[in-house]
Structure 1
Amino acid sequence: MDGMIDLGWQGWLSLGLVVLSFVLFLRTRIAPDVITSGALTVLLVSGVLTPSEALAGFANPGMLTVAVLYMVVSGLKETGAVGWIGQTLLGRPKDENNARLRLMLPAAGLSAFLNNTAVVAIFIPAVADWARRHRLSLSGLLIPLSFASIVGGTCTLIGTSTNLVVNGLYSSQVEGPGFALFELAWIGLPLVFATLAFILLSARWLLPKRATAIERFEDVRRFTTEMLVNADSPLAGKSIEAAGLRQLPGLFLAEIERDGQIMPAVSPQVLLAAGDRLVFAGILDSVVELHRIRGLIPATKQVYKLGGPRQDRCFVEAVISNKCPLVGSSVRKGHFRGYYNAVILALSRNGERVERKIGDIILEAGDTLLLETRPDFLLQQRNSKDFLVVSQFGDEHPLSHDRAPIAIGIVAAMVAVVAFELLSMLEAALLAAGAMILTRCTPDRVARRAPDWQVLIVIATSFGIGAALEKTGAAALLAGSLIELAGGVPWLALGLLFVATALLTALATNNVAAVLLFPVAIDSARLMEVSVVPFLVTLMVGASASFATPIGYQTNLMVFNVGGYRFADFMRIGIPLTALIGAITVALVPLIWPF
């Protein structure tokens, strides 16, 4: 009871706000950033936190690193390098479980040596692109990506910031080097295999599967579009199936024109050749996706007669009116590009494809066009009588594939300088983001819009809420009460330390949990006169076992919005996985590092 009295109203308010936030996450559709911002505001206004304490998360290097990494990744997206990552590292899956395995293995392996936040930031757009091409459920892939990156980080000292924090505190205590670089692999590797096996076996029941709009609606408009396999295309010599041209949802390859000969009803095993003209029919989203594939270029040469670089243009959807002066003329003879400074990439008539080359199609009122043009086209034609509807197609625009090697080189250099500890992750990411803009891998306007501000606000405000738990003693009370239950039994103390750490990680963040419970771990070992090493290893693993909530770890927050998840989705698969990781850790750690 004394501990309860000592907690004070500030501590109970902090705990109450955390509980209320969890209830709102689970029971309402209020955005997570609104909930955490509201909780932080109450802590600030009530005086529990000073303004500097409440806003410290907005200057936290971890939060800033995530923000800058979004800009770095925009360079990979704008150059089409994410498609290369998907094809090279992920390949062609046989089914969804095979896709999860193909994704989790490289994610876990890379996270052992790289900051797992960077790994997830690079993989998210590649996985989204990969899922579209192979008709996979994105919601069934991104939680496994985050979890694999988290558990992969437990394998080495540099795999996660938590390990470095605990090792730094330990080194200052023993006045020595602490843990060796690969020492934690003895427990990390079994945890990786256990996590992968658990997800693969339970995914069918525990992972959400949310259908996309394309999967829900079969009655869709079909467009005709033409693409060329360019001279130095990496697709030349590959079969249609191996090139990934059969997997795009709602799109099929109608015919191939090669050396003046038409090949209709094309088999998936037909090999592509440089110069092939491919005629596709399908939905607009997948038509636009074709223009993001490296090695394919628009069949019309008119695209290259528009002014300025392609990545400064946009895709526009327009419907021709009966007042348009080009109605009744073919696209080629009507000189559409010269008239509107725009190029027709695809055309749909009454929701169906038109079985002619785009240049030969006679334009009719009501035709829906996908145009490549400059942004000022929207301003010029929005009120024009020539078109019934003029709207930009999302934020999509043509990519600059020729700069893909530069973008990949910049990311590789960023990874290298961090791996060799020449710069911090934040410093390397800032330099990489600047390099992406200077080399025009990403336009500055795209880079500015790249960060996901909802994710960043949740991360920043969560730091403030964690600081309140620490300042008021609420976190220490929760942890200390659990440890006291051990009653002097080392194995039981180890188990309770894991429970306390995992609980605090779910409530605050992994680094907060590690720092708060480090003295508890040290004191528990000393009081029982046993080695402190198994307690510290358990602390590291427990702080990294951030599976049960999206706010427990940055990578969970990064996939939360993209995957369309709900708060309960993480609890459904994360709680049993945390229990499994805890059982394996408590069972193995004392055998590897005896008491």
Structure 2
Amino acid sequence: MPFEALFTLATVLAVLVTLVVTRIAPDVVLMAALALLVVSGILEPGEALVGFSNPGVMTIATLYVVAAGLKETGAIQWIAHRLLGRPRGLRQAQARVLLPASGLSAFMNNTTVVAMFIPAVQEWAARLKLPPSKLLLPLSYAAILGGTCTLIGTSTNLVVDGLLQTERGVSLAMFELAWVGVPLLVVGGGFLMLFADKLLPDRQGVLEQLEQAREYAVEVVVEDKGPLAGKTIAAAGLRSLAHGYLADIERHGRLLTAVPPETELLAGDVLVFIGAPECARELRRIHGLRPAGGDVHKLDIAHHRRCLVEAVIGPDFAGLHQTVRESRFRSRYQAVILSISRHGKRLPGKLGDIRLQVGDTLLLETAQDFVDQYRYRKDFLLVSGLNDSTPPDFRKAPVALGILGGMVALSASGLVSILEAALLAGGAMLVTRCVPASKARRYLDLTVLIVIAASFALGAAMAKTGAAAQIAQWLLLVDGLAPWAALALVYLMTVIFTELITNNAAAVLMFPIAMAVAEQLGVDVLPFAVAVMFAASASFMTPLGYQTNLMVLGPGGYRFTDYLRLGAPLSLIVGVTAVGLIPVVWSF
């Protein structure tokens, strides 16, 4: 094998290992690999940067604006509340979640669909007294399956279609994938309807658990002429309690939240502590404090002067594996953690000593602008903000849905390309003020776009140096291997990559390998490219493989084993169906 091919394979392997075992951001890892391939002379600058001009990547960027318009107008919530209704039982409830979620995901970003459905389903489940754990993971899986039905349903489809246009001059039609995607949705949805109730636990999410948790708010007053008046919080010893922590200070009718330790206490300050019942007994032993009302009352999560936000810690959170205290959470985010839920259970003990992990769900008390400030950051996967100060403009929901319908109709008719239809729809969202330009700009997920575009450099290097052809030879070691068996191998390898790294990076890395396999077998490349499309979306077995899976982890009260229990058989069923149908629709 030439040195260039060995160097490229080593680079790809280093990227895979780094993405799996470290917390370095994926866009940083992929851009570093791109730079290495250019500096080493493997790729020319134009070859390395070809992903940034790929039509698939540009279509994804434009569709973020379309999704922004649908989200800002509340169009998804508008549909959800009308379709959910009042089912008679759990199975009917699951059907009313699966159908609209999969249908909407076929035409827009499934992350946006799931983000908008989660609070609606939580409220709906509470009203009907149904466990959210029976509904939220099927919601994520239905959104993934729905995204496979059209070319714009998931970014992976657009990426592979862009590669086909660039490399082979072939472009798929809007609904061409439906020949396989719809059967996958029917088979996968049927499996979820039949077995989700049996395989998923009856468990509550973080908000329901908080209402039952023995966690209290304790209010005490700083005494006039007492020893604590004039001291800072730290000097008064109020930062080192065993059973609670200081959350708020009420001073002269104002509520001070996320107070730093150097804040000076004044006589008459009402200090609000959050903690276990023993916190009240501990505070009574501190000289200079007296009970504000003489009682300990249960934490009121609907307090009219508080903004509560439920947020899931993402893989790029700066304080991962640090305690809450070590992460300087209050000073960094200007927010107080009221409760932490992990795998569906509120973590016991003092909050400041808990080490934060990916997937932990935090219930935060914070300022009104927290949701707007961190909605577009990767520190958190924000699920719901209670008492949101900026509700959607539902009056424009029909306009946004009309624009989406027009985009689909235009691209399906063949009058314009999908990129052109998306550009027209994005422009219409801005012109009709469904979303302001400032917000549309923030909806662009640059991390995802950079990861996809930079991944093209790895794919180009594998094709140019012969590394992809060498991997294809290793896959075809068995003499006389049938094309359908090679297709199954490509599908399986893509699924493994998808569960380890991002789905888009997996698709770009597997595309040149799939092309090389087809060429060495002397068959058409299209069925192999389509197999990469479907396999890269089939991430059901871990919460980290697909963003929607991680988003429902805390709200559904799930554990990692729940994903494996339901996702492993679903992956097998979807894989067998896809590998069986793809050669029928796109012959070898």
Shared fold (TM-score, shorter chain, > 0.5): yes
Counterpart in the other structure of 1:80: 74
Number of residues of Structure 1 aligned to a counterpart in Structure 2? 426
1:415 aligned partner, one-letter code: V
Counterpart in the other structure of 1:123: 113
1:127 aligned partner, one-letter code: F
Counterpart in the other structure of 1:62: 56
For residue 548 of structure 2, the aligned residue among 533, 548, 559 is 559
Within-5 A mapping of 1:427-442:
427-442=420-435
For residue 149 of structure 1, the aligned residue among 146, 151, 155 is 146
CA distance in 2, matches of 1:593, 1:426: 24
By how many angstroms is 1:586 displaced? 4.8
User: 8 Å contact 2:72–2:393 — kept in the other structure?
Assistant: yes
User: 8 Å contact 2:49–2:454 — kept in the other structure?
Assistant: yes
1:131-166 deviation per Cα after TM superposition (whole angstroms, max 9, x unaligned): 23224358614531343124434999xx95588679
Q: Percent identity?
A: 36
Q: 1:368 aligned to 2:362?
A: no
The TM-score with structure 1 as length reference comes to: 0.55
CA distance in 1, matches of 2:394, 2:420: 27
Q: 1:541 aligned to 2:531?
A: yes
By how many angstroms is 1:95 displaced? 6.8
Within-5 A mapping of 1:272-283:
none
Q: 1:14 aligned to 2:12?
A: yes
CA distance in 2, matches of 1:196, 1:541: 20
Counterpart in the other structure of 1:399: 392
Residues 556 and 483 of structure 1: CA distance in aligned 2, closer, same or farther (over 3 Å) = same
Counterpart in the other structure of 2:419: 426
1:495-534 deviation per Cα after TM superposition (whole angstroms, max 9, x unaligned): 445445656777744366456534532552x4xxxxx57x
CA distance in 2, matches of 1:15, 1:146: 31
1:209-243 deviation per Cα after TM superposition (whole angstroms, max 9, x unaligned): 99754234226899xxxxxxxxxxxxxxxxxxxxx
2:426 aligned partner, one-letter code: A
The alignment partner of 1:466 has SS state of helix
1:232-283 deviation per Cα after TM superposition (whole angstroms, max 9, x unaligned): xxxxxxxxxxxxxxxxxxxxxxxxxxxxxxxxxxxxxxxxxxxxxxxxxxxx
1:341-378 deviation per Cα after TM superposition (whole angstroms, max 9, x unaligned): xxxxxxxxx8888x9xxxxxxxxxx983779xxxxxxx
CA distance in 1, matches of 2:210, 2:181: 44
1:366-416 deviation per Cα after TM superposition (whole angstroms, max 9, x unaligned): 983779xxxxxxxxxx9xxxxxx9754632413323222222222222222
Residues 117 and 464 of structure 1: CA distance in aligned 2, closer, same or farther (over 3 Å) = farther
CA distance in 1, matches of 2:426, 2:176: 33
Counterpart in the other structure of 1:520: 517
The TM-score with structure 2 as length reference comes to: 0.56
Superposed CA RMSD in Å reads 5.3
User: 8 Å contact 1:78–1:399 — kept in the other structure?
Assistant: yes
Q: 1:475 aligned to 2:471?
A: no
CA distance in 1, matches of 2:399, 2:574: 40
CA distance in 2, matches of 1:32, 1:202: 35
The alignment partner of 2:108 has SS state of helix
CA distance in 2, matches of 1:567, 1:424: 41
CA distance in 1, matches of 2:572, 2:142: 19
Counterpart in the other structure of 2:381: none
Structure 2 unaligned residues grouped into runs of 5+: 126-131, 218-247, 255-296, 309-333, 335-365, 373-387
2:400 aligned partner, one-letter code: A
Structure 1 unaligned residues grouped into runs of 5+: 223-317, 325-349, 356-365, 372-381, 383-388, 527-531
1:79 aligned partner, one-letter code: T
CA distance in 1, matches of 2:547, 2:444: 10
By how many angstroms is 1:168 displaced? 7.3
By how many angstroms is 1:30 displaced? 4.7
The alignment partner of 1:446 has SS state of helix
Residues 439 and 50 of structure 1: CA distance in aligned 2, closer, same or farther (over 3 Å) = same
Counterpart in the other structure of 2:405: 412
1:156-212 deviation per Cα after TM superposition (whole angstroms, max 9, x unaligned): 9xx955886799799989xxxx99998876655543333224445565698899975
Residues 491 and 320 of structure 1: CA distance in aligned 2, closer, same or farther (over 3 Å) = closer
CA distance in 1, matches of 2:514, 2:417: 25
